[in-house]
Amino acid sequence: MISEPVDNFILDSGASTHMCNKGEWFEEIKPFSGTVACASKNDILKVEGIDTVTGTLNGRKIILTDVLYVPELNGQLISVKNIQKAGYSVIFKNDVAVIKKSSEKFEFARLNEKGQYVSQFEPTKASIYSVNHSVELWHRRMGHSSNKVLKEMGLPVSESPSSFSEEFVIAKQSNTPMSKGPRSREHLPMRMVHTDICGPIDPPTREGKKYFLTIVDDFSRFCEVHLLKHKSDILEVFKLFIKQNPDLYKIRCDNAKEYVSGELDRYCKKSGVVIDPAPPYSPPLNGVAERANRYLLEKARALIYEAKLPKSYWGYAVQTAAYLKNRIPNQTVGNLPFELKYGKPPDLNIIKIFGCDA
């Protein structure tokens, strides 16, 4: 083992396997539990992962497989035993360690003043695999958004044709063309909203919710989702929503009785909020909310499919879809809904893949 910290790899005849303390040199560290003994300090060091380290030595590409990630190790070790297991010979002669296999032979390390065979092997810190892994990771975190969307957000994208979304084609559904006549937007957030109820959905969530209410801000296109057991539950949702958004003056909705008759209608009138229903059987006139619902359902299906979760998790999936929708560019408003509403960009680093362990 190494007694003083070093960055260069040391060729070690006593090491049972390759070891490295630099996490950035690994292509993708996979979970691995275990310990290794440090003879120089009589310490037991924890192994935190295992994977491949790729690099070059005098222009020659070198790939070290099954390298243990040991953060507390003082340096980097290349195991002579592992090289020999791979079918190579290691020859120590005249202060030089030479690797040989058949007609192939090259200098691998030189003896230093401390009696260590030090290699000039240079790991590649940002391998192609790492870049592709980062691309796929962000692609999945953002709910399989397109390369165009990721690029607009400054996130890594694949420069080659991607097949990331092929398995999610089954989650797509054809959309009925919607009328897109010119209409002015509000100039400030949360003054006018579009809303729609979707459901009943079978199976219900584990909490017994069968519907979800979508509320979309006209200015920013910021989208809120509320899960409901009953359609009539929208009354309590809007009571709180109106209190939280005192500038709200109009709610655009369909002609459902939950909006246009009963307690909600009376509460809105009392609060100075106008309910603006579309005529019966004319969904295009409530197009913003209708399109939002379709988007959320399609995205939720894809999220559940990938995570291999029961359908009863649709509530979490719809809420996640709305969360992501607010953090990707919206073509209508030319910005991120989150940023338009709150005046600052969202923190994307807190986003995890749907269904993964926290």
pLDDT at residue 18, rounded to an integer: 95
Quick check: bond before 200 cis, omega within 30? Answer: yes
Q: 282 falls in which pLDDT band (50, 70, 90)?
A: low
* 111 vs 172, residue with greater confidence: 111
Span 284-293, average pLDDT: 82
Does 141 score more than 80 pLDDT? Answer: yes
pLDDT at residue 248, rounded to an integer: 97
pLDDT at residue 348, rounded to an integer: 86
Does 2 score more than 80 pLDDT? Answer: no
Contact 256, 288 (CB under 8 A): no
pLDDT at residue 287, rounded to an integer: 85
Q: Collect contacts of 125-133 with beta carbons under 8 A, ≥24 apart.
A: 125/24, 125/25, 127/27, 127/54, 129/27, 129/28, 129/54, 130/27, 130/28, 131/156, 132/158, 133/27, 133/28
pLDDT at residue 27, rounded to an integer: 76
Does 159 score more than 60 pLDDT? Answer: no
Span 35-54, average pLDDT: 80
Q: For residue 317, how many other CB atoms are within 10 A of its CB?
A: 25
User: Considering the chain, what is the average pLDDT of its residues?
Assistant: 84
Q: 254 falls in which pLDDT band (50, 70, 90)?
A: confident
Span 117-138, average pLDDT: 68
Question: Which residue in this structure is represented by tokens 């996130």?
Answer: 155
User: In the chain, what are the domains?
Assistant: 10-123 (2.40.70), 192-342 (3.30.420.10)
pLDDT at residue 43, rounded to an integer: 74
pLDDT at residue 285, rounded to an integer: 61
What is the token pair recorded at 22?
A: 């630099």
In the chain, pLDDT over 70 holds for what percent of residues? 83
Span 281-309, average pLDDT: 84
Q: What's the pLDDT tens digit per position in 173-188?
A: 444 444 445 567 899 9
The angle subtended at Cα 354 by Cα 350 and Cα 357, nearest 5°, is: 75
Range with lowest mean pLDDT among 29-33, 177-181, 309-313: 177-181
pLDDT at residue 52, rounded to an integer: 86
pLDDT at residue 5, rounded to an integer: 47
pLDDT at residue 161, rounded to an integer: 40
Span 127-153, average pLDDT: 69
Q: 158 falls in which pLDDT band (50, 70, 90)?
A: low
Does 154 score more than 80 pLDDT? Answer: no
Span 280-286, average pLDDT: 60
Does 129 score more than 80 pLDDT? Answer: no
pLDDT at residue 283, rounded to an integer: 55
Span 104-130, average pLDDT: 82
Give the distance from CA 149 to its chain's centroid.
Answer: 14
Question: Which residue in this structure is represented by tokens 């006018």?
Answer: 192
Contact 120, 20 (CB under 8 A): no
Span 163-168, average pLDDT: 32
pTM score of the predicted model: 0.59
